[in-house]
Amino acid sequence: MFFHIVLERNMQLHPRHFGRNLRENLVSKLMKDVEGTCSGRHGFVVAITGIENIGKGLIRDGTGFVTFPVKYQCVVFRPFKGEILEAVVTMVNKMGFFAEAGPVQIFVSNHLIPDDMEFQIGDMPNYTTSDGSVKIQKDSEVRLKIIGTRVDATEIFCIGTIKDDFLGVINDPSAG
Amino acid sequence: MPRRRGDEEDEDLEPEEDQEQAYDEEEEEEEEEEEERGMASRKRRRSNFIDDLAEEDDEEEEEEDDDDDDYGGGGGGRKHRPKRRLGSQFLDIEAQVDSDEDEEEEDAEDDFIVDGGADLPDDDVGRRIHRRPLLPREDEQEDVEALERRIQARYSRSAQPELDDETTDVEQQALLPSVRDPKLWMVKCAIGREREAVVCLMQKYIDKGPELQIRSAVALDHLKNYIYVEADKEAHVKEACKGLRSIFSQKVMLVPIREMTDVLSVESKAIDLSRDTWVRMKIGTYKGDLAKVVDVDNVRQRVTVKLIPRIDLQALANKLEGREVVKKKAFVPPPRFMNVDEARELHIRVERRRDPMTGDYFENIGGMLFKDGFLYKTVSMKSISSQNIKPTFDELEKFRQPGENGDSDMASLSTLFANRKKGHFLKGDAVIVVKGDLKNLKGWVEKVEEENVHIRPEMKDLPATLAVNEKELCKYFEPGNHVKVVSGTQEGATGMVVKVEQHVLIILSDTTKEHIRVFADDVVESSEVTSGVTRIGDYELHDLVLLDNLSFGVVIRVESEAFQVLKGVPDRPEIALVKLREIKCKIDKKISVQDRYKNTVSAKDVVRIIEGPCKGKQGPVEHIYRGVLFIYDRHHLEHAGFICAKAHCCIIVGGSRANGDRNGDSYSRLANLKTPPRIPQSPKRFSRGGPPIDSGGRHRGGRGHDGLVGTTVKIRLGPYKGYRGRVIEVKGATVRVELESQMKVVTVDRNSISDNVVVSTPYRDAPRYGIGSETPMHPSRTPLHPYMTPMRDPGATPIHDGMRTPMRDRAWNPYTPMSPPRDNWEDGNPGSWGTSPQYQAGSPPSRAYEAPTPGSGWANTPGGNYSEAGTPRDSSSAYANAPSPYLPSTPGGQPMTPNSVSYLPGTPGGQPMTPGTGGLDAMSPVIGGDSEGPYFVPDILVNVRRSGEESVVGIVREVLPDGSCRVVLGSSGNGDTITALPNEMEIVGPRKNDKIKIMAGVLRGATGKLIGVDGSDGIVKVDDTLDVKILDLVLLAKLAQP
C-alpha cells in the first residue's frame, strides 16, 4: 500500500556545499540518500515529494560538517499481510516463483499455487494448468495475496499466494 | 543357569512333540522332584495356595525351614541345588528371595531385582496358559473328563500366580506395607560391596538363625553405597550388622512407609509399548533403525515391529541357493523397501501367505515376513528401546511412503508428543486439538498445568476456557507466520510458513529461500531472522575465507560443524564442505580490481557478468580476491545467491560506490575512466623493494617528491613537532607544510616530517612508541583490524600493513571526493610511487573509518586522497597520526636501502624499524634501515609468491644481507632452492600449538610454541626459557618442521 507521509531526517552536509545552493545540495543529497531505501516501519521510500521544513544546521565539532534536521514529504510503499498486489514474475523454479511489485520481492511457493498447476521445467520454466490455458512464467503478471512479510533493514520480503479466488495470472506476455 | 535350562527344555519339547505327552512328562518330572524334596517342597507347594503376603509369619517359618533345609546340612545344599531350582519355579514370591540370594552367591551375573520379582514363575505359567488355545485340536481328541482332570491337576498348582495376574487395584493396595509391618532400613556400606554385604548378612543369618532379627536384606544395582535391610527395629539392624566389615551401621535410616514400595518396585520398561509406537532397534543389523510397533505380546515379552528392511538380496539369494556366502561383517545393507519382483528375479522363493491371526497377507522370503515392502519382525522387547525416541523427519517420511494416509500420522504423533519438553506450550501459543471430540478446534493457550492445557477456543459458543490434555494439542501456525525452528535438525533456522500439513510445516527459509519441512512442535513464532547458525568460531556466513590449500571461497552455508564454501573458481561453481580447522583465516580486506574495461571495481559495486556460464547475472560485489569477484545476486538461488566470476568477465554497472560518487563526485568516475591501464602487479612489487621514497631526501629528486605534495604529513622535529599538515611544496631538502591546526604554511626540513602518516606503522606497533599524541588514536585501531595480518596477500609482509600506502585514502575524509584524477600522480611519479596503493593486492583490509578525522575531513588533497579504488585501505586514516617517522612509503622496503640512512639520524622516534624495540636495530642488521618488512629469520615457513605464479610454501634457509632470502620450496624443505625478495614472501602465520619462531623484538630468533591467540596477540611459550610471553602475532612465524 502506498502512503504519503512526512518523515524527518538529519542530514549531514559537507562544508563545501555551503553557499547559495546549499538548499539544493541538501535536497539532492536527501533524495540520493533516502529514495529507494527501506525501513521496517514505513516500507520503501518511493519518492520525495516535497520538503516541509529544514531546521537550523548544527556544526559538528572537528569536522566542519553541518547537520540539518530535514522534514520531508514522501511516498512510501509498504506491503501488508492480506494485501492484494499485482506483480511481475521474475523467476520461476520448482519451489515456486518470485515476483516483484516495485521494490518488493514476493515469493509464491508451489504450495500456494493452485494444485492444478504443475511445474514444467525447460528453457522457460513455468507453472501450467493441465489444459495449458494458464501459464505462469517469467514476466507474467500475476495478482497475488500477501500472506506474510519479513522486514529486514534493507528489504521487505513477502510470501504470497495465488490459491484464492480471483488471484493468478492477469496478463500473460506469451499469450499476447 | 540350571533353571533356565529347564525352561528351555520344556520349550523345546512342547512345540515338536505331542503337547499332551510333553505335559505329562513334565508333570512326572516335577512330581519326582517334589518327592525327593520331601517336606520342604510340600510346604512350598502348599504355599502356592496361600495369599503370599497375608500370612507372613507362616511364610517366614517356611523360609527358615527352607534355609535350614538348604544350608543346615552344610555342604549338602550345593548338591541339591539344580533340582531345587527346578522346583523353585513354583515357589511363591517370598520363598524366592532365598533362592535368589542363593543364586547370587553362586553367580552374581543375574539382575537381582528382576530375579527378585515375581515375573519368572508368572511368565512360565503365563506361557502355558497362552499356549493352550494355540492347540485347539488336542481337546477334541480327549474326553472331557480327562481334560478336566488334567487341567485341575495342572492349574491347581499355578492357580495362585494366575490370580495374581488379575489382581485388582484394591487387592494390590492391600499388599502395601502398613505401620504394623516390618520396616525398611537403609544402611550404608562400602561402595561396590553392596552385594557382598547382603550376602554376608545372609550368611550370618544362616549361621545364627533366628537370633538375627532382621527379615531380609536387599542390594539394589542402581544404588551404590547403600543396602536395605528389613527389620522391625533399628536395633535389630544394628545388631545384625555388627561385626560386618563392609557395613557401616552407625547410621541407619528408616525408609518412610510411603517410599518402601518404590525401593523394590521394578521399572517396567515395556509399560508404554503399544501399537504404533515408534521404537528403535538396539542390536543387530537394524541397530539404531526406527521401527514401528505393530503388535505387542506382553506375555512373551515379544514385539512385532515394522522396519525398512536392510537386506542384501543378492546375498540372500546366494544363501538360499546354498551357495557360499561371503561374510562381510562391516557391510550393512542400506535400508530399502523390499521389492518382491526384484527378489523373484534373483530366484528367491517368495511365498504369499495369510497370517492366521490378523488375516493380512505377507510375503514370506527366507523366513522373513514382508508386507508393503516393510519387514515385519518379531523381536524381544529387550532388543528395542522405546524411551525418548525422536524420529527425524526423514525417517518418518520414509515410513509414510507406501502407506500414505493421514490416520497413521496421528498415531505416530503420540510418540512425538511423548517426547515433548516441559514448558512446551506457553501462554498465548496458537494451538489446535488433534485428538478426541474437539479435534480441529483452534485456540490459544491460556494456562498450562501439569498435563492439561487450558485453551481459549476460537469458536464463540464454547466456554471461555477448555482444559485439554497436552497430548491432544499441537501447535498451530498459519501460512505467513514467521517462525523459528527451535529443535531438530534444522534448529535455529527461521522462515515463513508456506504451508501447514497437519503437524508438519513447510517453511521457506529466510536465507536459503528453500523449503524446509519441520514439525510444528519444533517451531516457535518469532520475528527474528536468522539462517540458523550463522557462525562458527570466527567465521560467519558470507565471509570470504582462505582455506588450507590456499584456495579461497565464500561461506554460503553454515552447518552444524562445517561450512559450505563456494570456492573461488570462476566459470563453474565449486562447492566444498570444510571443517572449521580447514579454514586458515578470514580474508577481510578491501581490494579493488579492474573490470573488463579497466574500470575499478571494489566491494559493493554492482557489476554484471558478461562472460561465462553466469552471463547476464548482476549484483553487488561482496568480495574480491585474486582477481576473482564474488557477486551476490539475489535472484540467484543457488549457493546462497553467490556467484563467482573473474573480474575481467564483468563490467561495472552504474558508478562505483566505493569511489565516492555517492557523494556526488562525478569526476571521480571520470577519473576511473581515464585511468591508464595499470601496470601489472608484479613489477611494482619489485619496485617496492627499491629505494623507498619516503623520507629519504636523497631520493626525492625529480618527480619523486611530487608524490609527497598533497600528502598529509606529520612533523617530527623542531618547533612544529607534532603538527600535522599537508605538503604544499617540496623544495630540495625542505618541504612547505600547511598546518592543519593553524592557518599557516611552514617550512620544515624534509627529514623532520613523517610523510606517510596516513600509512604509518602497523597499528600494533604504535602503542609501543608511546608517543603521547598518538595514543588516543590507537585504541581504536586495534579492534578494527583484528584480522589484518593473517589475511594479507602473499607478497605483502605482515608487518607492512600499515605502511604501505603513503597516503590517500578517502576513508578519513569520507565525504571528500577522493578524486583528483588519479593520473595526476600516477603519471607524475610512477617510479617513486611504485608501491602505490593500487597495486597492493595485499593491502590490509579496510575498515571504514567512520569518524572523519578532524582536520583532514576537508582536506581534499589532490594528490592524496583520491586513491579511491586503488587504495582500498580505508582504515589507514586511522593511522594518520601514527608517529612513525621512519615509515616509509615503501612497504616492502628492502633493507639496506640507502634511504634508511637518510632518516635515521634525524629521527627521534626513529630507532624503530622493528616495532617495539628500539634496540632492535642492532639485532637485526638485515633489516636495517626503515624497512618495515618482515624480519625474516631462517627456518620459518613462508609463502613465496612470485608474479604470475601460484604461491608456494617454502622454508627460509638463509637471510642474505640484502634482505632477500634463500628459500627452499616445499613445506618439508625438499624442493628447489630459490632466492626470494622479501616482498615476494609472506610469512606463514602460525596457529595455535604451532612451533613458532620470533622474528623481531628482544627475543628475535628464539623459538617457541604458540599456546594461544588473543586477538592480535599470540601467547608464546619460549623454548629456551620456558617463559610465556605475549607477542604480536605478526612477529611470529611458523617454524618449519625439521
CATH code: domain of residue A136: 2.40.50.140
pLDDT digits (tens, 9 = 90+) for B153-189: 776 654 444 444 455 667 667 777 777 888 888 888 8
Helices assigned H by DSSP within chain A? 22-34
Asked whether the beta carbons of B485 and B506 are under 8 A apart, the reply is no
Asked whether the beta carbons of B782 and B1016 are under 8 A apart, the reply is yes
Is the pLDDT assigned to residue B701 strictly greater than 50? no
Nearest residue in chain A measured CA to CA from B662: A32
In a domain, A176, yes or no: no
CB pair distance less than 8 Å for A105 and B634: yes
Q: Which of B264, B299, B322 is the last residue of a domain?
A: B264
Same domain, yes or no, for A92 and A63?
Answer: no
In a domain, B560, yes or no: no
Radius of gyration of chain B (CA): 43
- Residues of chain B with pLDDT > 70, as a percent, come to 55
Give the span between the Cα atoms of B456 and B898, in whole angstroms: 86
CB pair distance less than 8 Å for A63 and B857: yes
Same domain, yes or no, for A105 and A49?
Answer: no
Same domain, yes or no, for B900 and B753?
Answer: yes
**Position with higher pLDDT, A173 vs B1025:** B1025
Mean pLDDT of B1011-1019: 79
Same domain, yes or no, for A113 and A56?
Answer: no
Same domain, yes or no, for A130 and A62?
Answer: no
Is the pLDDT assigned to residue A145 strictly greater than 90? yes
Model confidence band, residue B623 (pLDDT cutoffs 50, 70, 90): confident
Model confidence band, residue B824 (pLDDT cutoffs 50, 70, 90): very low
CB pair distance less than 8 Å for A148 and B481: yes
Give the span between the Cα atoms of B518 and B423, in whole angstroms: 19
Closest CA to B875 of B857, B840, B851: B851
Nearest residue in chain B measured CA to CA from A149: B480
The least confident of B94-98, B607-611, B723-727 is B94-98
Mean pLDDT of B926-936: 46
CB pair distance less than 8 Å for B479 and A159: yes
Chain B partners of A16 at a C-beta cutoff of 8 Å? 858
Q: CB-CB: which of B499, B857, B858 is closest to A109?
A: B499
pLDDT at A69: 93
Q: Which of A51, A77, A103 is the last residue of a domain?
A: A77
Same domain, yes or no, for B459 and B363?
Answer: no
Neighbours of B7 (CB within 10 A): 16
Same domain, yes or no, for B453 and B576?
Answer: no
Same domain, yes or no, for A122 and A165?
Answer: yes
Mean pLDDT of B302-309: 84
pLDDT at B136: 46
CB pair distance less than 8 Å for A14 and B663: yes
B852 touches chain A (CB under 8 A): yes
CB pair distance less than 8 Å for B858 and A16: yes
Q: How many domains does chain B have?
A: 7
CB pair distance less than 8 Å for B815 and A14: yes
pLDDT digits (tens, 9 = 90+) for B210-241: 788 888 888 887 778 888 888 888 888 888 88
Model confidence band, residue B44 (pLDDT cutoffs 50, 70, 90): very low
Closest CA to B866 of B606, B670, B701, B680: B670
Residue B708 Cα distances to A22, B761, B945, angstroms: 34, 17, 30
Q: Residue B44: exposed, middle, or buried by beta-carbon count in 10 A (0-12, 13-18, 19+)? A: buried
Same domain, yes or no, for B245 and B282?
Answer: no
Chain A partners of B662 at a C-beta cutoff of 8 Å? 32
Residue B152 Cα distances to A73, B87, B899, angstroms: 101, 19, 119
| Partners of residue A6 on adjacent β-strands | A73
pLDDT at B1011: 82
| Partners of residue A59 on adjacent β-strands | A66
Q: In a 3-state reduction of DSSP, which class is residue B847?
A: coil
Q: Which of A25, A57, A77 is the last residue of a domain?
A: A77
Average pLDDT of chain B, as a whole number = 65
Domain with A34 in it: 2-77
Most B CBs within 10 A among A17, A93, A104, A111, hence the mutation to make, goes to A111
| Partners of residue A117 on adjacent β-strands | A129
The least confident of A113-127, B154-168, B364-378, B528-542 is B154-168
Same domain, yes or no, for A120 and A144?
Answer: yes
Neighbours of B990 (CB within 10 A): 24
Same domain, yes or no, for B145 and B220?
Answer: no
Nearest residue in chain B measured CA to CA from A110: B498
Is the pLDDT assigned to residue B122 strictly greater than 50? no
Q: CB-CB: which of A64, A95, A105 is closest to B857?
A: A64
Chain A partners of B857 at a C-beta cutoff of 8 Å? 62-65
Mean pLDDT of B65-79: 43
CB pair distance less than 8 Å for B635 and A90: yes
Residue A59 Cα distances to B468, B597, B662, angstroms: 65, 42, 22
Q: CB-CB: which of B497, B664, B854 is closest to A63?
A: B854
Chain A partners of B854 at a C-beta cutoff of 8 Å? 61-63
Is the pLDDT assigned to residue B1040 strictly greater than 60? yes
How many interchain CB pairs under 8 A, A with B? 73
pLDDT at B289: 84
Nearest residue in chain A measured CA to CA from B494: A150
Model confidence band, residue B360 (pLDDT cutoffs 50, 70, 90): confident
CATH number at residue B284: 2.30.30.30
Model confidence band, residue B469 (pLDDT cutoffs 50, 70, 90): confident
**Position with higher pLDDT, B518 vs B843:** B518
Same domain, yes or no, for A37 and A98?
Answer: no
Model confidence band, residue A99 (pLDDT cutoffs 50, 70, 90): very high
The chain A residues in contact with chain B (CB within 8 A) are 12, 14-16, 28-29, 32, 61-65, 81, 90-91, 93, 95-96, 98, 105, 107, 109, 111-112, 146-150, 152, 157, 159, 161
In a domain, A10, yes or no: yes
B637 touches chain A (CB under 8 A): yes
Cβ partners under 8 Å of residue B618, min gap 6: B606, B607, B608, B609, B631, B633, B653
CB pair distance less than 8 Å for A159 and B815: no
In a domain, B529, yes or no: no
**Position with higher pLDDT, A151 vs A35:** A35
CB pair distance less than 8 Å for A147 and B480: yes
Asked whether the beta carbons of B567 and B575 are under 8 A apart, the reply is yes
Closest CA to B696 of B735, B670, B646: B735
Same domain, yes or no, for B726 and B628?
Answer: no
Most A CBs within 10 A among B661, B777, B815, B858, hence the mutation to make, goes to B815
pLDDT digits (tens, 9 = 90+) for B127-162: 444 444 444 444 455 577 787 777 777 766 544 444
Same domain, yes or no, for B653 and B688?
Answer: no
Nearest residue in chain B measured CA to CA from A33: B662
B664 touches chain A (CB under 8 A): yes
CB pair distance less than 8 Å for A109 and B510: no
pLDDT at B888: 41
The least confident of A159-168, B516-525, B878-887 is B878-887
Which residue matches cell numbers 501447535?
B475
Same domain, yes or no, for B603 and B722?
Answer: no
Is the pLDDT assigned to residue B842 strictly greater than 60? no
| Partners of residue B370 on adjacent β-strands | B363, B375
pLDDT at B329: 54
pLDDT at B439: 80
pLDDT digits (tens, 9 = 90+) for B646-657: 888 888 877 654
**Position with higher pLDDT, B811 vs B402:** B402
Mean pLDDT of B942-966: 73
Task: Return the beta strands (E) in B570-615 as ranges.
Answer: 575-579, 583-586, 592-594, 600-602, 606-609
Nearest residue in chain B measured CA to CA from A155: B634
Give the span between the Cα atoms of B427 and B438, in whole angstroms: 20
Same domain, yes or no, for B260 and B298?
Answer: no
Mean pLDDT of B858-864: 39
Most A CBs within 10 A among B478, B508, B604, hence the mutation to make, goes to B508
Asked whether the beta carbons of B668 and B659 are under 8 A apart, the reply is yes
Same domain, yes or no, for A132 and A73?
Answer: no
pLDDT digits (tens, 9 = 90+) for B631-672: 888 767 677 778 888 888 888 877 654 443 333 333 333 334
Q: Which of B125, B158, B175 is the last residue of a domain?
A: B175
CATH number at residue A8: 3.30.1490.120
In a domain, B527, yes or no: no
Same domain, yes or no, for A88 and A167?
Answer: yes
CB pair distance less than 8 Å for B479 and A91: no
**How far is the alpha carbon of A80 from chain B, nearest alpha carbon, in Å?**
11
Mean pLDDT of B292-315: 81
Q: CB-CB: which of B498, B662, B858 is closest to A159?
A: B498
Same domain, yes or no, for A123 and A164?
Answer: yes
In a domain, B562, yes or no: no
pLDDT at A67: 92
Mean pLDDT of A112-131: 89
Q: How many domains does chain A have?
A: 2
**How far is the alpha carbon of A132 from chain B, nearest alpha carbon, in Å?**
25
Model confidence band, residue B4 (pLDDT cutoffs 50, 70, 90): very low
Nearest residue in chain B measured CA to CA from A34: B662
B118 touches chain A (CB under 8 A): no
Same domain, yes or no, for A73 and A93?
Answer: no
Closest CA to B727 of B713, B742, B748: B713
Same domain, yes or no, for B248 and B226?
Answer: yes
Same domain, yes or no, for B385 and B287?
Answer: yes
In a domain, B989, yes or no: yes
pLDDT at B140: 52
pLDDT at B268: 53
pLDDT at A49: 93
pLDDT at B141: 55
Is the pLDDT assigned to residue B340 strictly greater than 60? yes
**Position with higher pLDDT, B414 vs B782:** B414
Mean pLDDT of B480-484: 83
pLDDT at B576: 81
B815 touches chain A (CB under 8 A): yes
CB pair distance less than 8 Å for B529 and A152: yes
Q: Which of A32, A54, A77 is the last residue of a domain?
A: A77
**How far is the alpha carbon of B846 from chain A, nearest alpha carbon, in Å?**
21
Mean pLDDT of B705-734: 77
**How far is the alpha carbon of B308 from chain A, nearest alpha carbon, in Å?**
29
In a domain, B400, yes or no: no
B620 touches chain A (CB under 8 A): no
B514 touches chain A (CB under 8 A): yes
Nearest residue in chain A measured CA to CA from B856: A63
Is the pLDDT assigned to residue A144 strictly greater than 90? yes
Euclidean distance between the first and the last CA atom of chain A, given in angstroms as a whole number: 29
H or E, element range at B351: strand B350-354
Residue B15 Cα distances to B7, B150, B517, B703, angstroms: 13, 19, 50, 110
Radius of gyration of chain A (CA): 22
CB pair distance less than 8 Å for A81 and B852: no
Is the pLDDT assigned to residue A86 strictly greater than 90? yes
CB pair distance less than 8 Å for B480 and A15: no
pLDDT at B801: 41
In a domain, B515, yes or no: no
CB pair distance less than 8 Å for B858 and A64: yes
Q: In what order do the strands lie in the sheet with B466-469?
A: B466-469, B452-457, B442-448, B430-433, B473-475
Same domain, yes or no, for A61 and A90?
Answer: no
Chain B partners of A147 at a C-beta cutoff of 8 Å? 479-480
Closest CA to B909 of B1039, B732, B779, B721: B721
**Position with higher pLDDT, B941 vs B909:** B941
Give the span between the Cα atoms of B500 and B484, in whole angstroms: 15
Domain with B606 in it: 568-658
Nearest residue in chain A measured CA to CA from B478: A147
The least confident of A59-63, A67-71, B99-103, B1005-1009 is B99-103
CB pair distance less than 8 Å for B496 and A161: no
**How far is the alpha carbon of A162 from chain B, nearest alpha carbon, in Å?**
12
Same domain, yes or no, for B381 and B458?
Answer: no
pLDDT at B663: 38
H or E, element range at B227: strand B226-231
CB pair distance less than 8 Å for A14 and B816: yes
Asked whether the beta carbons of B483 and B495 are under 8 A apart, the reply is yes
pLDDT at B156: 62
Chain B partners of A91 at a C-beta cutoff of 8 Å? 635, 637
Is the pLDDT assigned to residue A81 strictly greater than 80? yes
